[in-house]
Amino acid sequence: MDKNTLLQVWPIPAFDDNYIWCIHDGHSALVVDPGDASPVIEYLLQNQLTLTGLLITHHHADHTGGILNLLDRFGASIPVYGPAGNDIPGRTEVAMEGDKIEIAVPRISLKVFEVPGHTLSHIAYFANIQANVLEPMLFCGDTLFASGCGRLFEGTPTQMSQSLAKFAALPKNTLVFCTHEYTLSNIRFALAVEPNNLNLLSWADEAKALRAQHLPTLPTTIGQELQVNPFMRCDQADVIAKAKEVSGENDLPTPAHVLAVIRAWKDRF
Ligand SMILES: [Zn+2]
């Protein structure tokens, strides 16, 4: 096999609105956040792919529930990368900030970011351009969504703000593989924050058209999210002004303060 075969990334739909991402070279596959084993098994068999590793972003059951069944089915020696803590079943490798994970098949080099907020031990995997990867790719779990961000179950607004800032610093063409199809409801909220954001208005039309055809709205890109995602725009005048209006606060000195207001608003939206 030519080891420079371009890697492909495909969504495996699971539950109501999860995407389990499969990274493969036509032969070997890595699977990200398998919350359920059966759709993954079906996908791998249908496409004649050999499972060579699992990448886990955080401990929630809809991201980890299929790990042990996949190991049972395909071999207990498959490496399972995941964040620190005792709540990732089957994890064999702890992945921490700055780690570089080198996987042989499919050949890919991944950098690890710690991105607390949605959970405390949440991590993300970033693949920069390499021989078989033409555009950078980010597997961000439930931290960043198209036009939204994860709910703060464990972390603080400041942590989420710092996590999103790590993503904002990535190349703008980075493809972002979010793990839920929340885009249309996120856009409804984003439009409440920024009703005059023209990029957001045209993205709303595009996303509606995709969903009308039952197509994923993902992956998105970092450049796109910087234009349409209020949680990535907490330093923008319109977003700050709306956060002040909603909260009645006159002083929201940092993006984290703004994020705290709009995240709380989204929770009750
Ligand atoms: Zn989650």
CA of 71 to the centre of ligand 1 (A): 22
CA of 127 to the centre of ligand 1 (A): 21
Count CB atoms within 10 A of the CB of residue 237: 8
For 149-205, how does the pLDDT look when each residue is reduced to its tens digit (9 = 90+)? 999 999 999 999 999 999 999 999 999 999 999 999 999 999 999 999 999 999 999
CATH 3.60.15.10 fits 8-267, yes or no: yes
CA of 240 to the centre of ligand 1 (A): 27
Q: What element of type H or E holds 141? A: strand 137-141
Q: What element of type H or E holds 30? A: strand 28-32
CA of 58 to the centre of ligand 1 (A): 7
What residue segments make up the domains of the chain, in order of their start? 8-267
Count CB atoms within 10 A of the CB of residue 150: 28
Question: With bands split at pLDDT 50, 70 and 90, how would you rate the model's confidence at 4?
Answer: low
3-state secondary structure 199-250: HHHHHHHHHHHHHHCCCCCCCEEHHHHHHHCHHHCCCCHHHHHHHHHHHCCC
Give the predicted TM-score (pTM) of the model. 0.97
Range 202-231 average pLDDT: 98
CA of 118 to the centre of ligand 1 (A): 7
Closest CA to 147 of 83, 210, 98: 210
pLDDT at 184: 98
CA of 31 to the centre of ligand 1 (A): 16
